Structure formats: C-alpha cells, structure tokens
C-alpha cells in the first residue's frame, strides 16, 4: 500500500470514529475522543506489523460502534448500552501497559462521577 493511500485510510478511519462518538453521551464522547486522539498519535511511528493490528482493531471498533449507534436510533440515551465484552483470548495478546491502560479506561468509563462533567449546550 502506498504511503498516500495508507495516510488517507488512517485519516478516514480516525475521522469516522470521531463522527460516531458524536452519538455517545457527552462524557463518554469526551473520554473516547481523547483516547482515540492519544492512540492514533502514539502509533504514528509504529512498525508495519503493529500498524496492521492497530488498524484491524480500530476498524472492528468502528464497525461495532456504528452497529450500536444504528441500533440505538430513536431510544433514549439512558437505555442504550455501548461497548462489547473483550474475550480472554484477546487479553492474552495484550502487553502489561495495554492491560493497565484498558483497566484505567474501564474505571473512568464506569464511575458514577466521571472525570468529564461536561454539559451539552442546548442552543
């Protein structure tokens, strides 16, 4: 794949994920947007084999979130559940740093008083 096509593919995936995040509750959107931005930035100089895994997993995330957004159309946000269970087999492939990062993300996304207390402007 040429560098131009690859950059375009990465940028398209990144933008699509941020668009899908607009359908999340505002606090989860803020958390998700920051996480996505950090991860894509962190992997700018990744090795080709790591890039393949990175893109595959983010495409899976995009597809899952897109299906959940479409499924949730017309329902109240409080009734909608986003996310998916992570199989143990996938966890075995994670590095210690990734497990720690995933744990922190889980804690932040499930606490009753989230770090991001953002009010949406209803103007």
pLDDT at 80 over 70: yes
Structural tokens at position 103: 């744990």
Give the pLDDT confidence score for residue 113 in this predicted structure: 60
Lowest-confidence segment of 23-32, 53-62, 113-122 by average pLDDT: 113-122
Give the pLDDT confidence score for residue 65 in this predicted structure: 94
Lowest-confidence segment of 3-7, 18-22, 57-61 by average pLDDT: 3-7
Give the pLDDT confidence score for residue 60 in this predicted structure: 94
pTM of the model: 0.77
**Phi, psi for residue 97 in degrees, rounded to 5:** -65, -40
Distance (Å, rounded) from C-alpha 57 to C-alpha 72?
A: 22
Give the pLDDT confidence score for residue 95 in this predicted structure: 85
Average pLDDT, stretch 12-26?
94
Q: How confident is the model at residue 118 (pLDDT cuts 50, 70, 90)?
A: low
Structural tokens at position 65: 């979130």
Give the pLDDT confidence score for residue 33 in this predicted structure: 95
């Amino acid at each position: 794949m040429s560098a131009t096509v690859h950059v375009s593919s990465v940028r398209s995936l990144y933008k699509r994920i941020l668009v899908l995040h607009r359908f999340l509750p505002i606090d989860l959107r803020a958390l998700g947007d920051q996480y996505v931005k950090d991860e894509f930035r962190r992997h700018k100089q990744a090795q080709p084999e790591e890039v393949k895994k990175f893109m595959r997993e983010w495409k899976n995330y995009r597809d899952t979130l897109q299906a959940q957004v479409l499924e949730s159309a017309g329902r109240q946000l409080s009734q909608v559940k986003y996310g998916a269970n992570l199989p143990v087999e996938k966890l075995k492939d994670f590095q210690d740093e990734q497990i720690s990062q995933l744990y922190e993300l889980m804690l932040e996304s499930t606490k009753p008083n989230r770090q991001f207390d953002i009010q949406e402007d209803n103007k």
